[in-house]
Structure 1
Amino acid sequence: MIVGRLRTGCLDDALKLFYEMPVRDAICWNTMIKGCLDCVDLTTAEELFDEMPEPSVVSWTTMINGFFQFGQVERAELFFKQMPIRDLASWNAMINGYCENARVDNAVKLFEQMPSRNVISWTSMIGGLDQNGKSEKALNVLRECQGWCCAQSEYFDVCMECLCKCIVFSSWHADSWSRSQVFVCASLITFYANCKRIEKATQVFYEAVHRNVVICTALLTGYGLNGRHEDGLKVFNDMLRTSVLPNQSSFVSTLNSCCSLESLDRGKEVHASAVKLQLGSDVFVGNSLVVMYSKCGAVDDAVVVFKRLKEKNIVTWNAIICGCAQHGRGMWAMELFSQMICGLVKPDEITLTGLLSSCSHSGMLQKGYFSENTSIELKHEHYACMVDVLGRCGKLEEAEDFVRNMPLKTNSIVWLALLSSCRMRSNLDLAERAANYILDLEPHCSATYVLLSNFYASANRWGDVSRLRVTMRDKGIVKQPGRSWVTIKGQKHLFLSGDKSHSLSENIYWKLDWLNMKLKELGYLPDKRFSLHDVEDEQKEESLFYHSERLAIAFALITAVEGSTIAVMKNLRICGDCHSAIKLIAKIVDHEIVVRDSSRFHHFRSGICSCGDYW
């Protein structure tokens, strides 16, 4: 009834009804204050606000809007400063009010101070700047806006409207168009790419009248964000071919694509281009080079790049420490950490994760202990790493006590680390306890079912294996098939266990049979515990011989250059039998064989693995 009277402008009648109400809550008070302002009665609105028992944040914001409505900017500022609690709406009210009252500089200053922003904040700021004759500044704010709103699909239409408005803004100012055209094109490309509309981004690129490094980099970065890494590398090569010199951002995005493609050869080519353009020692390009070499299996090259960098930041140190950890270079990681501390670089949570991983992957138990009094905020990942360190060193009971007594609430990541350690140490009782905890937290955790099923299979408990498989089927849980791949001359070759679909399958299996004969001559005996099928021993041996990583190695041996390093990638953890066999294969063929599994890199040379069997 009150709202009805306010809508017809009957403020006195609304006030009469309001004061007759037996009970008035915050909503009623706020409605009445807003009604007074709509009826152009600021004085009565103020009186109601003063009478209100406990003004809410909405009440304060309504009054701020009212002061701006009447041009009383200073009173609005005073109210904003006096607010006991400020929410996003109150900040937006100030931004919008400043712009509407031609105080755009105040709006910009407050906008920069905002603790958080939403689409209203950005739109108010962009529109306010343009309305006050600052279209160039509006374009700059739009550029910042993209990083926030483009990734949020629900705001796609609003963002598109902002972009279109900014293009119109630029057309109103002929002198700014030449400077703004590049920005608008690059912004549209980035915007479409972030919203997963990469075809539209490509269309904008090819419709651009002029293409410079900014526009090209926007597209190659967009391709990377959308998993189109081959297209990204093509854009980079086109830049070099057409004399558009890449900048730091261009190289960073291109090297990220090389990482995703696991293409060391292409990464080296990009590195060479960076050196020619005198960007090889740039800290941002250098960081990406360290990551690229580490993730593509060439940790020695990563260390060389690291040492040559004159400027290093926390990202540089973390990249090399984590890289060394993944490659089993635990002592290197520790030494680098010491240098980092001597250089007065403060470590962070990523540094600690890298150090703990290096201890785990190198069997360095004593160095792995950490103090919970560290200045670094400890997270579940750190506790999981510590559990892994203890488990790999055979201290399973200590690991379980560590999990039960950790100050954070345990989650599946920590229990999975313990479950994985149980498999290595054949502790079935503890494995079942850990699995139960995980499934209580995540009933559909596929990794738990797979690990426990493999555990039962290695113990010949085939009834339990069948029970778990039935449960997985009933719950719709699918086991990820093991697969391995190698990249030869830029082409990825994928293999599944027992796979015979490759065009060179006949040669691959001939090579594997030859290797198996040589292995037996060296005394190799298959470890049937790692055959996860209830079949005869002869079939178990055969299934182990044709695991996906062995097929990939055989293919690489018949296609790779003599004496070159063979790099194999695998989506799951390498099994113990293959680990033993590949150590001997590396000795037989006199190649270094690098295998990256889901946990780490293994460098096999002359019958030895870099992990020291702590994989």
Structure 2
Amino acid sequence: MPKNPPFKVPPFFTTKKTNSKCLTTSFTTLIQNPKPSSTSLNSTFSNHLKNQRLDSARAVFNKIPSPHVSLYTKLLLAYAYNHRFPEALTLFNQIPSNSKDTISWNSIIKASIICNDFITAVKLFDEMPRRNSISWTTIIYGLLSSGRVVEAETFFNEMPHDDKDIATWNAMIHGYCNNGRINDALRLFRLMGSRDVISWTSIIAGLDRNGMSYQALVFLKKMVGSSDVEISSTTLVSGLSAAAKISDFYVGVQIHCCMFKFGYCCSLDEYVSASLVTFYASCKKMESTCKVFGEIVCKNVVVWTALLTGFGLNDRHVEALEVFGDMIRFGVVPNESSFTSALNSCVGLGDLEKGRVIHGVAVKMGLENGVYVGNSLVVMYSKCGFIGDALYVFKGIGEKNVVSWNSVIVGCAQHGCGVWALALFKEMLREGVESDEITLTGLLSACSRAGMLQKARCFFGYFGRKRSMKLTIEHYVCMMDVLGRCGEVEEAEALAMSMPVEANSMVWLVLLSACRVHSNLDVAERAAKRIFEMEPDCSPAYVLLSNLYASLRRWSEVAKIRSKMKHNGVVKQPGSSWITLKGLRHEFLSGDRSHPLTEKIYEKLDWLGVKLKEMGYVPDQQFALHDVEIEQQEEMLSYHSERLAIAFGLLSTVEGSRITVMKNLRVCGDCHNVIKLLAKIVDREIVVRDSSRFHHFKNGICSCGDYW
């Protein structure tokens, strides 16, 4: 008798006759076209979404029988984050009406906001059958994030009281702060029934961002005294930022101690570490800054950039650029802020060569067309004397903001390219970019350096009538500068007297400078009197008035002023010029003989002096400004600092190359005439940046047209 099998035989292995052909077909079909389960489809769908394969995810979604509303929500939000809003809206409309819940409605409203379609967001919100606090908070926060504060206020006021949870109040406070309405933020903060750490942090950070750093620290102290709120690292970082801005070292150290007490200094939080570096650098404590940096375990790009920026803030630009080089050597990839700080240090040094190297690194990383790096490159090239390169970079910036336009307009103004500045402003208007206070400053400066008085009057009147802008003292100073340069000294004085706020010493200094140029002694003496009433020890006022008397050969008055300066301990700022070659700055004072190449420099100047006389040059004695013999006056003029720097540049650079000299004071008229002739004698372009503008000398003429 056969033994029983050790297991139960499956039905298809029984001796019952079956159609073998049919059985084989069934197995083949099952293997080739297996029917996927809902679980596997959901898993595949989620995997595609996670890897941003939206079309593949949609294909899988279409195969899911009766997909749950949560799957619709996931897909429509994925469409939104990839700015495919029409597909998101279509998908939402495909959700069965009886399946649409509050979450799906909130998601499509959020998708509308992500894609900046606020009209649709508001329309969908109005159509919602049921709303919860998240619905209200989503629409309010979205409107606030786009600057639509009035609309957000309307929704907040219409929101049912029971739905106003702490998140909604926090959203309004945060939005008010971000849009500069700090008083409204404070009002809401005081009305809140209960507050959490986000409420306190929002108001502290908001006060700090809106120029009320001292008040921010007051609120931080109140928060610390509140036992029911736990302080977060973000709160302390906001407080440290406020302490840095007002250089309150004592309070900042206390906050540092709190960070240590709560264990935040030992964390890997990059913002805590970076904020500590920034704080000590802002308080001019670079030794402590470096110590804190050395103690940080995880030094990422944010921390490195904080150190780089800190050195720049303390005018230690050489060390700042060394930090930038160290970042790259240690494999830390610089971000846009790193490049901005490094380029600012190149400007501080006037080092175009290093600026070009950093520009090359930005090109390799594909950042040169980004708005932040692009803006910094525009400033760097224009301030180093290469406005053509600045314009080239500006054209390549992808999405230009108001800073981009202002940078290139101000740059053109500095180089005396007034027509270019006005053309760029017209293009700015065509692009729909809203101008601001800096735009007006740039335009007035452009008009001043090009002698376009009527244009300046039009701009001053046009911007003065704009409700969105308030004219500042700086704008009045610029307008007075235009009037003064154009010889309208009396009108400039009348403008100073009619200002809505009391004119400060800078206003009267501009007027005094104009009087010096146009030899208007009456107005000059009135302006000087105003200055001395406000600042008895104002060195520039003494110098300008003394120079005016000297140009009119009133030597007794010059002697009185110099005696008064000596009695009051007022020291004239010495004129200096410098030239940067191969990363080294060579600085010269008038009559300077301390440079290693002094002998060769003076030999070069003597040779150039002979050539100048051959071309008919006669020294302009009114710029000697000393009651001495003619020969001494000529010698004093011959060895002005800018001439020494140019002679050094001629000796130290390749023949035919351009020479760029920086000067801390305004170039005198005699030197201006001389440099025009020098550029022709040596057949080179010579660029001189003085306290007023850039002068491009070439072939015996200057870009300023002898108007500066």
The TM-score, its normalising length taken from structure 2, stands at 0.69
| Alpha-carbon spacing, 1:323–1:106, altered in 2? closer, same or farther (3 Å) | closer
Tell me how far 1:108 sits from its aligned partner. 5.2
- Equivalent residue, structure 2, for 1:491: 584
- Equivalent residue, structure 2, for 1:14: none
- Equivalent residue, structure 2, for 1:425: 518
Distance in 2 of aligned mates of 1:527 and 1:292: 35
- Equivalent residue, structure 1, for 2:53: none
- Equivalent residue, structure 2, for 1:554: 647
Distance in 2 of aligned mates of 1:351 and 1:594: 25
Tell me how far 1:105 sits from its aligned partner. 5.4
- Equivalent residue, structure 2, for 1:522: 615
- Equivalent residue, structure 1, for 2:95: none
Distance in 1 of aligned mates of 2:635 and 2:199: 76
Task: Indicate if the aligned counterparts of 1:98 and 1:104 stay in contact, CA closer than 8 A.
Answer: no
Tell me how far 1:558 sits from its aligned partner. 0.1
Tell me how far 1:488 sits from its aligned partner. 1.0
- Equivalent residue, structure 2, for 1:282: 370
Tell me how far 1:205 sits from its aligned partner. 1.9
1:122 paired with 2:220, answer yes
| Alpha-carbon spacing, 1:109–1:258, altered in 2? closer, same or farther (3 Å) | closer
Distance in 1 of aligned mates of 2:508 and 2:422: 27
Aligned partner letter, 2:234: N
Tell me how far 1:326 sits from its aligned partner. 0.7
1:169 to 231, 244, 262: 262
SS of the counterpart of 2:588? strand
Distance in 1 of aligned mates of 2:519 and 2:650: 34
Distance in 1 of aligned mates of 2:701 and 2:519: 24
Task: Indicate if the aligned counterparts of 1:229 and 1:257 stay in contact, CA closer than 8 A.
Answer: yes
SS of the counterpart of 1:118? helix
Task: Indicate if the aligned counterparts of 1:98 and 1:107 stay in contact, CA closer than 8 A.
Answer: no
- Equivalent residue, structure 2, for 1:291: 379
Tell me how far 1:359 sits from its aligned partner. 0.7
Distance in 1 of aligned mates of 2:417 and 2:405: 15
SS of the counterpart of 1:493? strand
- Equivalent residue, structure 2, for 1:143: 237
Q: Which moved more, 1:426-435 or 1:446-455?
A: 426-435
| Alpha-carbon spacing, 1:105–1:572, altered in 2? closer, same or farther (3 Å) | closer
- Equivalent residue, structure 2, for 1:241: 329
Q: How does 1:50-199 map to 2 (within 5 A)?
A: 98=194, 103-104=196-197, 107=200, 117-125=215-223, 138-154=232-248, 156-170=249-263, 179-180=268-269, 182-199=270-287
1:482 to 568, 572, 575: 575
SS of the counterpart of 2:587? strand
Q: Extract unaligned runs of 5+ from structure 1.
A: 1-73, 78-85
Tell me how far 1:219 sits from its aligned partner. 0.8
1:336 paired with 2:424, answer yes
Tell me how far 1:495 sits from its aligned partner. 0.8
SS of the counterpart of 1:487? strand
- Equivalent residue, structure 2, for 1:57: none
Task: Indicate if the aligned counterparts of 1:384 and 1:413 stay in contact, CA closer than 8 A.
Answer: yes
1:570 paired with 2:668, answer no
1:609 paired with 2:697, answer no
- Equivalent residue, structure 1, for 2:36: none
Tell me how far 1:227 sits from its aligned partner. 1.5
Tell me how far 1:275 sits from its aligned partner. 1.0
Q: Provide Cα deviations, 1:121-165, integer angstroms capped at 9, x if missing partner.
A: 224547869x76x66xx11222222221124344x3433333333
- Equivalent residue, structure 2, for 1:10: none
Q: How does 1:236-315 map to 2 (within 5 A)?
A: 236-315=324-403
- Equivalent residue, structure 2, for 1:439: 532
Task: Indicate if the aligned counterparts of 1:126 and 1:142 stay in contact, CA closer than 8 A.
Answer: no
Task: Indicate if the aligned counterparts of 1:549 and 1:568 stay in contact, CA closer than 8 A.
Answer: yes
Task: Indicate if the aligned counterparts of 1:126 and 1:139 stay in contact, CA closer than 8 A.
Answer: no
Distance in 2 of aligned mates of 1:586 and 1:306: 29
Distance in 1 of aligned mates of 2:446 and 2:349: 25
2:556 to 463, 472, 476: 463
Task: Indicate if the aligned counterparts of 2:268 and 2:297 stay in contact, CA closer than 8 A.
Answer: no
Distance in 2 of aligned mates of 1:112 and 1:495: 46
Aligned partner letter, 1:354: G
Task: Indicate if the aligned counterparts of 1:262 and 1:296 stay in contact, CA closer than 8 A.
Answer: yes
Distance in 2 of aligned mates of 1:151 and 1:333: 34
Q: Extract unaligned runs of 5+ from structure 2.
A: 1-165, 170-182
Aligned partner letter, 2:481: D
Task: Indicate if the aligned counterparts of 1:108 and 1:125 stay in contact, CA closer than 8 A.
Answer: no
Aligned partner letter, 2:452: M
- Equivalent residue, structure 2, for 1:373: 465
Task: Indicate if the aligned counterparts of 1:592 and 1:603 stay in contact, CA closer than 8 A.
Answer: yes
- Equivalent residue, structure 2, for 1:224: 312
Aligned partner letter, 1:143: V
| Alpha-carbon spacing, 1:218–1:127, altered in 2? closer, same or farther (3 Å) | farther
Equivalenced residue count is 519
Q: Provide Cα deviations, 1:371-414, integer angstroms capped at 9, x if missing partner.
A: 14344311222222222212222233333333334444333222
1:534 paired with 2:534, answer no
Q: Provide Cα deviations, 1:236-263, integer angstroms capped at 9, x if missing partner.
A: 0111122210001111111111111111
Aligned partner letter, 2:323: V
Distance in 1 of aligned mates of 2:502 and 2:203: 39
Tell me how far 1:459 sits from its aligned partner. 1.4
Distance in 1 of aligned mates of 2:362 and 2:453: 40
Q: How does 1:374-453 map to 2 (within 5 A)?
A: 374-375=466-467, 376-453=469-546
Tell me how far 1:104 sits from its aligned partner. 4.4
Identical aligned residues as a percent: 55
SS of the counterpart of 2:572? coil
Distance in 2 of aligned mates of 1:90 and 1:337: 39
Task: Indicate if the aligned counterparts of 2:205 and 2:238 stay in contact, CA closer than 8 A.
Answer: no
1:325 paired with 2:416, answer no
| Alpha-carbon spacing, 1:415–1:113, altered in 2? closer, same or farther (3 Å) | closer
Distance in 1 of aligned mates of 2:451 and 2:569: 37
SS of the counterpart of 1:122? helix
Distance in 1 of aligned mates of 2:575 and 2:704: 21
Distance in 2 of aligned mates of 1:216 and 1:208: 11
- Equivalent residue, structure 2, for 1:24: none
Distance in 1 of aligned mates of 2:618 and 2:558: 25
- Equivalent residue, structure 2, for 1:501: 594
Q: Which moved more, 1:328-337 or 1:383-392?
A: 383-392
Distance in 1 of aligned mates of 2:523 and 2:673: 26
Q: Provide Cα deviations, 1:404-428, integer angstroms capped at 9, x if missing partner.
A: 3444433322222221112222222
Q: How does 1:339-350 map to 2 (within 5 A)?
A: 339-350=427-438
Task: Indicate if the aligned counterparts of 2:576 and 2:642 stay in contact, CA closer than 8 A.
Answer: yes
Task: Indicate if the aligned counterparts of 1:192 and 1:198 stay in contact, CA closer than 8 A.
Answer: yes
| Alpha-carbon spacing, 1:420–1:153, altered in 2? closer, same or farther (3 Å) | closer
Q: CA RMSD in A?
A: 2.8
- Equivalent residue, structure 2, for 1:51: none
Q: Which moved more, 1:497-506 or 1:378-387?
A: 378-387
Task: Indicate if the aligned counterparts of 1:321 and 1:351 stay in contact, CA closer than 8 A.
Answer: yes
Distance in 2 of aligned mates of 1:88 and 1:462: 62
Q: Provide Cα deviations, 1:335-372, integer angstroms capped at 9, x if missing partner.
A: 01111111111211111111111111111122111214
Task: Indicate if the aligned counterparts of 1:98 and 1:106 stay in contact, CA closer than 8 A.
Answer: no
| Alpha-carbon spacing, 1:151–1:605, altered in 2? closer, same or farther (3 Å) | same
Aligned partner letter, 2:539: S
Task: Indicate if the aligned counterparts of 2:189 and 2:199 stay in contact, CA closer than 8 A.
Answer: no
Distance in 2 of aligned mates of 1:380 and 1:113: 26
Tell me how far 1:544 sits from its aligned partner. 0.6
The TM-score, its normalising length taken from structure 1, stands at 0.79
Tell me how far 1:94 sits from its aligned partner. 8.4
- Equivalent residue, structure 2, for 1:361: 449
SS of the counterpart of 1:603? strand
Distance in 2 of aligned mates of 1:279 and 1:575: 41
Name which one, 1 or 2, has greater alpha-carbon Rg. 2
